[in-house]
Amino acid sequence: MAELHQVCAPLEFLLGTWQGTGTGVYPTIEDFSYAEEVSFTHVGKPFVAYAQKTKDAVTGLPLHAEAGFLRPQGDGRIELVLAQPSGITELLEGAVEGRDIQLASTAVVGTASAKSVTATERRFWVDGEVLHSSVAMAAVGLDLQHHVVSEMYRLS
């Protein structure tokens, strides 16, 4: 196990694998519930790898996934780059304060076949033993609004 890069120290509270459940809403779809697993890992370099997958809470079938990298800038600012199987990439910038990371998109770009997403806001925060994750999204012509929120517990 490599030593954590000093620039990643503010993200140490995230490291590991977390599992839990969440709920999703959006005006164009039915409300849904899901099981979620996220992992934050490092290799001693100045970034933290992030991977996420969700399953339908009822059927157990896979729903969403995403993968990317958190890039702490050494001054509290954080960048996140993200790829999604929906054909969308996101670049976000924001800050970490204590155990709370809040990010807003600077660019959301999709492939020719992807649905239109124009902006996102993401937050990861740990309160006690619980990791909360939330995403707000402006998609298919609608304004930025709450989309998903989840609560997870550390698995390892």
What is the 8-class DSSP label of residue 12? G
With CB under 8 A as the contact rule, the residue among 38, 82, 135, 152 that binds its own copies is 82
User: How many helical (H) and strand (E) elements, i.e. helices and strands, does the chain have?
Assistant: 0, 10
Query: What minimum distance in Å lies between the beta carbon of 47 and its own copies?
Result: 4
Q: What are phi and psi of 2, to 5 degrees?
A: -70, 155
88 binds its own copies (CB under 8 A): yes
Please list, in sequence order, all residues whose beta carbon lies within 8 angstroms of the beta carbon of residue 88, skipping any fewer than 6 positions away.
108, 109, 110, 111, 114, 115, 117
3-class secondary-structure state, position 14: helix
Q: Which of 4, 15, 81, 149 binds its own copies (CB under 8 A)?
A: 81
Does 44 sit near its own copies (CB under 8 A)? yes
Q: Which of 67, 72, 71, 41 is nearest to 53 (CA)?
A: 67
Q: Does residue 15 bind its own copies (CB under 8 A)? A: no
* 144 binding its own copies? (CB under 8 A): no
Smallest distance, its own copies to C-beta of residue 55, A: 9
Task: Build a one-symbol-per-residue string for 91-120: x at contacts with its own copies by CB under 8 A, - elsewhere.
Answer: x-x------------xx-xxxxx-------
Is residue 36 near its own copies by the rule CB under 8 A? no
Integer Cα distance of 48 and 40 in angstroms: 6
Binding site for its own copies (CB under 8 A): 2, 43-45, 47, 49, 51, 53, 61-62, 65, 67-69, 71, 73, 79, 81-85, 87-91, 93, 106-107, 109-113
